Amino acid sequence: MTRKPDNAAPTECSFEVLNPGGSFPGLIVCDHASSEVPAKYRNLGLGEEDLDKHIGIDIGIADVVRTLCQRLDATAVLTRYSRLLLDCNRWIEDPRLILAESDGILVPGNSDVTEAEKAQRAEAYFWPYHGAVSEALTNLVVREQHPFIVSLHSCTRRLGQELRPWDAGTIWHESNVLSDALIAALAQRGDLKLGDNQPYSGIGGTFTIDYHSWSTGIPACGLEVTNDLLSTPEGRSEWSDRLTDALGDLASARASIWNKHNGIERASSPRHLSTS
């Protein structure tokens, strides 16, 4: 069972909070915002070129999040360290929390990680980040009657032999209400191939959305944008425009989204292992 330790506190700040107290009714989170690794881990034995690949960071999405915070007056919480150090969007019990190999690339600093080392990384980097998300969400709930959470990611177009045809896809578990609204908002221009619980399913897989929204009544979903669309400044600018409009639509419809979300039948409980 995943349980936050009472003494969880950062030894090095593992998160960044943008625009705390912003007026936007949704909280934005970014679990894989950075390719940095604390100095004591010596880049986990990898070169910077590997850390800067999709295995180490969600390419391009942090720049989009920063732009959204400015345009929407939104609050966002971002990780400051690479997902290869420890994946803040996995359950602690998930064997993919710390990977010794990712998409065919060996990670020497993660080979033979002991349970004690895993617990140390979780206490130093995982729980402080999620504590910051919880604090930002608590502050939002105090002032906003119909808050929501959107977790923004990017993903590779090809993983192993799997080609992902979607330009973007939503990720959800407990409820698809916010996901459906986000897909509808993004689809208005008519030029995107959008996935529903694609390129992977949120049912039984991701941590952040389940941990912070399950049984709270708060609508939540993730969005994966294919990273080849974010590889240039022009692409990031285009997706900043798209998401400014789409998240603005969610904000305008938040009362009806909230009511629909809280009127549906939900799954029984979150699970910690996905099917992909």
> Which tokens in the block code for residue 111?
């080979």
Global confidence as pTM: 0.91
Q: Using the structure block, give the residue that is written with the tokens 């949120």.
A: 202
pLDDT of residue 266: 55
> By percentage, how much of the chain surpasses pLDDT 90?
84
Report domain 15-261's class. alpha beta
**CA pair distance 223, 209, nearest whole angstrom:** 11
Mean pLDDT of the chain: 91
Please report which confidence band the pLDDT of residue 218 belongs to, taking 50, 70 and 90 as the band edges.
very high
Q: Look up residue 154 and give its DSSP letter.
A: E
Q: Strand 75-79 and strand 15-18: pairing? A: antiparallel
pLDDT of residue 190: 87
- Asked if pLDDT for residue 272 goes beyond 50, the answer is no
Q: Using the structure block, give the residue that is written with the tokens 């090095």.
A: 12
pLDDT of residue 267: 53
Count of other CB atoms within 10 angstroms of residue 215: 10
**CA pair distance 192, 167, nearest whole angstrom:** 6
pLDDT of residue 215: 87
- Asked if pLDDT for residue 3 goes beyond 80, the answer is no
Please report which confidence band the pLDDT of residue 247 belongs to, taking 50, 70 and 90 as the band edges.
very high
Q: What is the pLDDT of residues 148-160, one digit of tens each?
A: 999 999 999 987 6
- Asked if pLDDT for residue 92 goes beyond 60, the answer is yes
Q: What is the pLDDT of residues 171-206, one digit of tens each?
A: 999 899 999 999 999 999 889 999 999 998 898 778
- Asked if pLDDT for residue 119 goes beyond 80, the answer is yes
Q: What is the pLDDT of residues 253-267, one digit of tens each?
A: 999 999 999 986 555
The domain limits of the chain are 15-261
**CA pair distance 62, 227, nearest whole angstrom:** 12
Could you give the strand order of the β-sheet that contains 220-226, starting from the edge strand earlier in sequence? 15-18, 75-79, 26-30, 148-155, 220-226, 168-171, 194-196
